């Protein structure tokens, strides 16, 4: 895994504060997040109405570019799982259950989407899985050995959350909640581990 430059800084309070400030100044992302916060609140806060779930899934899929081409089966899966109580309790097993959806007799795994959907409902209990976050965690595992995990472990949400918490403890970032860490890890990953499109 090669980073954009060899001088990747160590996670620190200063780094997190820098990236949280950077996030606050990215108007498009900030406004987009506020729009989703409003959508997922009030009449749309529960997951008992298929039409409302479809709207929430569609907005999330569009804003986060999660590449789900058929929303209906995903929304139906969420409805069938009856997730509201488990969301409020922060049940990490829920993410992998939501992620597994059958479309046209094929099993799909919308893991990143599922983590984001749960996070929208309970952002302090459900950290977001994203390819940038994955790269950052793997890089610092290799560099500093902050935790022991296999690459595939990050796709098992219970273990993924444990790794995030180990990361926070190892780098003395306990003052930051999981939503703060989401923003930091994503922006840090974008800066130091950019995707190769060419």
pLDDT at 5 over 50: no
91 closest CA partner among 67, 64, 114:
114
pTM, rounded to two decimals: 0.93
Residue 9 region by backbone torsions, left for phi larger than 0, else alpha for psi between -120 and 50, else beta: beta
| Residue 167, both tokens | 């990361």
Residue-level pLDDT at 195: 79
Span 140-148, average pLDDT:
97
* Residue-wise pLDDT tens digits, 72-105: 999 999 999 999 999 999 999 999 999 999 998 9
Residue 129 and residue 12: Cα distance in Å, rounded?
A: 20
Percent of the chain at pLDDT > 90 equals: 87
pLDDT at 2 over 70: no
Q: Is 187 or 197 the better-scoring residue by pLDDT?
A: 187
**Helix, strand, or coil here: 170?**
helix
Q: How confident is the model at residue 42 (pLDDT cuts 50, 70, 90)?
A: confident
pLDDT at 197 over 70: no
Q: What is the DSSP string of 54-66?
A: HHHHHHHHHHHT-
The CA angle 8-9-10, to the nearest 5 degrees, is 120
Span 11-25, average pLDDT:
97
Residue 48 CB partners (closer than 8 Å, separation 6+): 79, 84
First to last CA, the chain: 16
Residue 32 and residue 54: Cα distance in Å, rounded?
A: 18
Residue 140 and residue 19: Cα distance in Å, rounded?
A: 18
180 to each of 27, 42, 123, 158, 175, how far by Cα in Å? 17, 23, 10, 19, 10
| Burial (0-12, 13-18, 19+ Cβ within 10 Å), 190 | middle
Residue 154 · residue 96 · CB < 8 Å:
no
* Residue-wise pLDDT tens digits, 173-190: 999 999 999 999 999 999
Residue-level pLDDT at 79: 98
Residue-level pLDDT at 196: 67
């Amino acid at each position: 895994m090669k980073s954009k430059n060899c001088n990747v800084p160590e996670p620190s309070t200063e780094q997190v504060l820098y990236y949280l400030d950077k996030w606050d100044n990215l108007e498009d992302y900030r406004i987009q997040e506020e729009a989703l916060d409003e959508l997922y609140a009030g009449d749309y806060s529960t997951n008992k109405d298929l039409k409302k779930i479809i709207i929430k899934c569609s907005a999330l899929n569009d804003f986060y570019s999660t590449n789900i081409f058929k929303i209906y089966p995903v929304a139906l899966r969420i409805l069938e799982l009856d997730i509201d109580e488990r969301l409020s309790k922060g049940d990490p097993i829920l993410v992998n259950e939501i992620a597994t959806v059958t479309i046209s007799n094929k099993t799909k795994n919308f893991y990143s989407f599922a983590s984001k959907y749960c996070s929208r409902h309970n952002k302090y209990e459900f950290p977001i899985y994203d390819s940038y976050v994955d790269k950052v965690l793997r890089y610092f595992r290799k560099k500093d050995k902050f935790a022991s995990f296999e690459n595939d472990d990050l796709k098992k949400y219970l273990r993924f959350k444990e790794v995030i918490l180990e990361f926070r403890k190892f780098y003395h970032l306990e003052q930051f909640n999981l939503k703060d860490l989401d923003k930091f890890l994503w922006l840090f990953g974008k800066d130091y581990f950019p995707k190769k499109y060419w």
